[in-house]
Amino acid sequence: MLEPTKTAIENFRRKGFKAEFFEDKNAALKYILDKIGSETVGIGGSMTIQELGWAPTLQARGEVLWHWLKKEPGILERENAAPVYITSANAISADGAIVNIDANGNRIAATAFGQKKVFIVAGENKIESDIPAALLRAKNVGAPLNAKRLARKTPCAIKGDKCYNCLSPERICRTTSIITFPPTNIETHIVLLSGSWGF
Ligand code: SF4
């Protein structure tokens, strides 16, 4: 475990989050499976979850609502109404905060209100020292690479290199959240993984 990861785990726990680190992605999935039973799971847009390849195992256990698996009217609203929500973060602050930038605001809404349990899954590549550094990462690494992946007509999508603070109609940076403590009534788990996952 890298030193910033150790600091992050300590700070998240101090604030009341459930925080764990896993060298092995299968051990991380087992940790989540043990805590969710057969509850319906919603998944936010997440390259991390896609790269981890967890969807089939989650589907073998119960209903999974994920607009990346099945595009249908109302899917975002339905996944946001699931009692369990799994997503990643654009950045994790080692002082114990989660930073996300959304276009739709779906991850931001689901991680802040309405769920029984939320699992934020992130590789050590997402961990920054503090909230300003985490915001910089989200803005200059996560958002441009997501704009490039989505082939948006934004200046950052050409090279995926940095934010140009565009006014494009296709701008993906529309809502930003900084979760500093577990939202009231949501059991919030931070699941940190060895290595680099997503962006
Ligand atoms: S504000 Fe515009 S240029 Fe900056 S990351 Fe978002 S979409 Fe890209």
The pair phi, psi for residue 167, each rounded to 5°, is: -115, 25
- State pTM to two decimals: 0.95
Q: Is 19 part of a structural domain of the chain? A: yes
User: What gap in Å lies between CA 97 and CA 90, rounded to an integer?
Assistant: 11
Model confidence at 176: pLDDT above 90: yes
Condensed to tens digits (0 to 9), the pLDDT of residues 54-99 reads: 999 999 999 999 999 988 999 999 999 999 999 999 999 999 999 9
Condensed to tens digits (0 to 9), the pLDDT of residues 102-155 reads: 999 999 999 999 999 999 999 999 999 999 999 999 999 999 999 999 999 999
pLDDT of residue 68: 93
Q: Does residue 154's CB lie within 6 angstroms of at least one atom of ligand 1?
A: yes
Q: Is 74 part of a structural domain of the chain? A: yes
Q: Is 38 part of a structural domain of the chain? A: yes
pLDDT of residue 121: 98
Condensed to tens digits (0 to 9), the pLDDT of residues 17-40 reads: 999 999 999 999 999 999 999 999
The domain that holds 84 is classified in CATH as 3.40.50.10420
Transcribe 63-80 into DSSP letters.
-EEETTT---TTHHHHHH
pLDDT of residue 1: 87
Question: Ligand 1, residues 135, 168, 170, 176: which to mutate, most atoms within 8 A of Cβ?
Answer: 168
* CA dihedral (108, 41, 122, 144) positive or negative: negative
Q: Which atom of ligand 1 is nearest to the CA of 168?
A: 2
Transcribe 127-150 into DSSP letters.
EESSHHHHHHHIIIIIHHHHHHHT
| Domains of the chain: total | 1
